[in-house]
Amino acid sequence: MNRVNVIQSIINRKKRVKYLEIGVDKGECFLLVRAKQKYAVDPHFNITLKSKVKWTFKNPCNMRAKYYEVGSDDYFAYKNHYGGYDVVFIDGLHTYQQVLADVFHALSCLKERGVVIVHDCNPPDEAAAHPADSYAHAGSLDIPAWKGV
Write down all domains in the chain, each with its CATH number in brackets: 3-120+129-140 (3.40.50.150)
Q: 148 falls in which pLDDT band (50, 70, 90)? A: low
* Full-model pTM: 0.84
DSSP secondary-structure letter at 124?
S
- pLDDT-wise least confident of 9-23, 55-69, 104-118, 129-143: 129-143
Q: 80 falls in which pLDDT band (50, 70, 90)? A: confident
Q: Give the Å distances, CA to CA, from 68 to 9, 82, 121.
A: 25, 16, 25
Closest CA to 50 of 30, 68, 26, 66: 26
First-last CA distance in the chain = 23
How many CB atoms within 10 Å of residue 90?
24
* Predicted local distance difference test score (pLDDT) of residue 76: 93
